[in-house]
């Protein structure tokens, strides 16, 4: 099987591409290599992929929100399925640069839906986000819960992606699976995420910023577990049989939470980072930031039932693995 992976220079995209190649598939990876965070990290991920996968992995730099550029890049390429993980990420940055989210997450998503439609692709798995639940105070979050009160533009674009996907499943019978990711972390992670920011600050003797005065909980999910879930979903397209799918659709469109099914207090995560770094953190407690939420917690019953997904990595194992990789990557 040949798979088109968008966001292949990103954290999750690179990890999914590597696993696909390792099991014998071939991957065409595309990514715009934008400068939302340091491009060198994205380039290093691609280089690592090439080293690990050899000829099974090919890569093109292209902005998938640019229809003409995307069409030209894919014109002579064949692929059976799509894993669409590319997006403009980050809740807080959406307050500063909203247009980037509209271009990448709305135009880009429609472009990939159009590619899938016209190519007759067998299945497209795409990235949604736990942020679609907004300020929902019912825990854990279930895919049946309402998700129409987003508290950030990022969340609104991800919910819009789900609705557009439902339309394409209805009109064109394109099999689609949307995954609501919960706080993914691990080696090769993103520099704008708390784990990276905290580790970097602690190792370099800088204070860390902890919002909502430390009263924050997240369902931290290790990258290896996420990748296992993404690929299991890719292998199990929703049937066009009129039966109700996870998320409520009767079209070939399923929605799943993909998390660790454990909500961890941020102060506990900081303790584990301190242990792995061998240093204490200097903590600066701050109020809640606009667009953020206090708690996330994934109900994963649907993906366990339908796909057999089962996370296996607790933060007690995952955080030391991230810190070890971080030290090695930065020669610390």
Express each pLDDT in 183-232 by its tens digit: 999 999 999 999 999 999 999 999 998 888 888 999 999 999 999 999 99
Nearest to 279 by CA among 215, 235, 327, 231: 327
pLDDT of residue 147: 92
pLDDT of residue 70: 98
Structure tokens at 300: 């994963």
Q: Are 31 and 9 in contact (CB under 8 A)?
A: yes
Residues 6+ apart with CB under 8 A from 54: none
The whole model's pTM is what? 0.95
pLDDT of residue 92: 77
pLDDT of residue 285: 87
pLDDT of residue 182: 95
Express each pLDDT in 102-130 by its tens digit: 999 999 999 999 999 999 999 999 999 99
pLDDT of residue 91: 75
Structure tokens at 183: 């706080």
What dotted CATH number matches 2-189+220-261+297-312? 3.40.50.720
pLDDT of residue 239: 98
pLDDT of residue 94: 83
- Series of mean pLDDT values for 10-residue runs along the chain (332 residues): 98 98 98 96 97 96 98 97 94 85 97 97 97 88 92 94 98 98 97 95 94 90 98 98 98 97 93 96 88 87 97 97 98 90
Helices (H), the chain: 11-22, 39-53, 67-74, 93-96, 98-101, 108-119, 153-172, 194-203, 223-234, 266-277, 301-307, 315-329
Catalytic residue of the set 93, 101, 154, 326: 154
Domain ranges of the chain: 2-189+220-261+297-312
Instruction: Taking the CA atoms of 246, 249, 253 and 259 in sequence, report the sign of the dihedral they define.
Output: negative
Instruction: Based on the residue annotation, tell me whether 126 is a catalytic residue of this protein.
Output: no
Distances (CA, A) of 104 to 85, 88, 298, 316: 11, 6, 26, 35
- In the block, tokens 């602690």 appear at 202
* Distance in angstroms (rounded) separating the CA atoms of residues 77 and 251: 28
């Amino acid at each position: 099987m040949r798979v088109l992976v968008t966001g292949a220079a990103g954290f999750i995209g690179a990890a999914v591409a590597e696993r696909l190649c390792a099991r014998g598939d071939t991957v065409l990876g595309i990514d715009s290599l934008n400068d939302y965070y340091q491009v060198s990290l994205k380039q290093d991920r691609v280089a690592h992929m090439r080293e690990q996968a050899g000829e099974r992995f090919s890569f093109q730099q292209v902005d998938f929100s640019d229809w003409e550029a995307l069409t030209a890049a894919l014109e002579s390429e064949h692929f059976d399925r799509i894993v669409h993980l590319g997006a403009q990420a980050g809740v807080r940055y959406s307050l500063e640069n909203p247009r980037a989210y509209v271009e990448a997450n709305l135009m880009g998503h429609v472009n990939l839906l159009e590619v899938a439609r016209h190519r007759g692709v067998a299945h497209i798995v795409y990235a949604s986000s736990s942020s679609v639940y907004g300020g929902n105070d019912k825990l854990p979050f279930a895919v049946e819960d309402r998700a129409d009160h987003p508290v950030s533009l990022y969340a609104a674009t991800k919910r819009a992606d789900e609705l557009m996907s439902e339309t394409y499943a209805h009109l064109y019978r394109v099999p689609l699976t949307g995954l609501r990711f919960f706080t993914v972390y691990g080696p090769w992670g993103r520099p704008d995420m708390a784990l990276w920011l905290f580790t970097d600050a602690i190792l370099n003797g800088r204070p860390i910023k902890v919002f909502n005065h430390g009263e924050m909980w997240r369902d931290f999910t290790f990258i290896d577990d996420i990748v296992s879930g993404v690929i299991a979903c890719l292998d199990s397209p929703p049937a066009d049989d009129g039966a109700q799918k996870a998320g409520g659709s009767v079209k070939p469109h399923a929605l799943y939470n993909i998390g660790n099914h454990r909500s961890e207090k941020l102060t506990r995560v900081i303790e584990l980072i301190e242990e792995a770094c061998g240093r204490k953190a200097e903590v600066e407690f701050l109020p809640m930031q606009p667009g953020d939420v206090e708690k996330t917690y994934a109900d994963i019953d649907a993906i366990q039932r339908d796909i057999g997904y089962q996370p296996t990595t607790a933060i007690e194992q995952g955080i030391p693995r991230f810190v070890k990789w971080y030290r090695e990557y930065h020669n610390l």
